[in-house]
Structure 1
Amino acid sequence: MKILCIGDIIGKPGRRAVMEILPALKLGLGVDVVIANGENSAGGIGLTPDVAEELFSYGVDAITSGNHIWSQMEILPMLEGDAPVVRPLNFPPDVPGKGYTSVKGVLVVSLMGRTFINNLVDCPFRAMDRLLDELKTPPKHIIVDFHAEATSEKQAMGWYLDGRVTGVVGTHTHVGTVDARVLPGGTASVSDIGMVGPWESIIGDNKDDVLKRFLTGIPNRLAVGKGRVTFNSVLITTDAGGRAIGIERVDRETAALA
Structure 2
Amino acid sequence: MKRGSPILGMSTPPCGITTYGSDSEDESQVPLNQFYPYIRCGLCCGFLIDATTITECLHTFCKSCIVKHFFNSNRCPSCTIIVHETQPLYNIRPDRQLQDIVYKMIPFLEEFEREQMCNFYKKRGLAIPKSVAFSTPAPLASKRQKKDPVPQCVINIPPELDMSLLLDFVGAEEGINSYKPLERPYVRVSGDATIRHVELFIRKKMELGPTCQVDVVCGDQLLDHYQSLKDVPNFVGAEAVQDGFLVLHFGLVLSCLA
TM-score calculated relative to the size of structure 1: 0.24
TM-score calculated relative to the size of structure 2: 0.24
Larger gyration radius, structure 1 or structure 2:
2
- Structure ranking higher in strand proportion: 1
